[in-house]
């Protein structure tokens, strides 16, 4: 299992790999060419590969953002209020926000995506434990 984690991390951080492609695969949303990364931070433990990655995206225009909101509604994303995420690495990026989110926990991998409709941003979080 540790080798699979290592392989995943290598592919996730390789130069030719686009994090937006990974976010699109998880989220089911069409983000290419309409969003720019304004924050990309990660923290990993060298000896076991545990850690997290957080990416904050801003829309290049409001029409693209409204399209993503409609996609999220169509995909049955849940409503969120920033007060639900106060103990998360995402909290500083969605402060006072509201919108929609998707969450997945499989084995030792947790993924979340939040569409903050108040602050017009998307926050993606990946944690491997």
pLDDT tens digits along 67-119: 999 999 999 999 998 887 777 888 899 989 999 999 999 998 999 999 999 99
**Adjacent-strand bridge partners of 113:** 102, 124
**Helix or strand holding residue 9 (H, E):** helix 2-13
**pLDDT > 70: percent of the chain:** 87
Domain extent for 46: 2-128
Residue 48 banded pLDDT, cuts 50, 70, 90: confident
- DSSP for 14-70 reads STT--HHHHHHHHH----TTTEEEEEEEEEE-TTT--EEEEEEEEESSHHHHHHHHH
Q: What is the pLDDT of residue 14?
A: 47
84 versus 5: the higher-pLDDT residue is 84
Give the pTM: 0.82
pLDDT band at 9 (very low <50, low <70, confident <90, very high): low
Averaged over 16-34, what is the pLDDT? 85
| Number of domains the chain is built from | 1
pLDDT at 33 over 90: no
C-alpha 44/C-alpha 49 separation (Å) is: 6
The whole-angstrom separation of Cα 50 and Cα 63 is 37
């Amino acid at each position: 299992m540790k080798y699979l984690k290592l392989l995943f991390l290598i592919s996730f951080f390789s130069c030719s790999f686009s994090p937006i492609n990974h976010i699109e695969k998880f989220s089911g949303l069409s983000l290419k060419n309409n969003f720019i990364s304004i924050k990309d931070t990660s923290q990993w433990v060298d000896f076991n590969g545990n850690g997290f990655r957080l990416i904050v995206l801003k829309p290049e225009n409001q029409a693209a953002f409204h399209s993503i909101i409609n996609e999220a509604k169509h995909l049955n994303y849940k409503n969120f209020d920033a007060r639900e995420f106060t103990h998360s690495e995402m909290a500083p990026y969605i402060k006072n926000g509201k919108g929609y989110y998707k969450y997945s926990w499989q084995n030792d991998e947790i993924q979340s995506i939040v569409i903050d409709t108040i602050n017009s941003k998307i926050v993606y979080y990946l944690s491997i434990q």
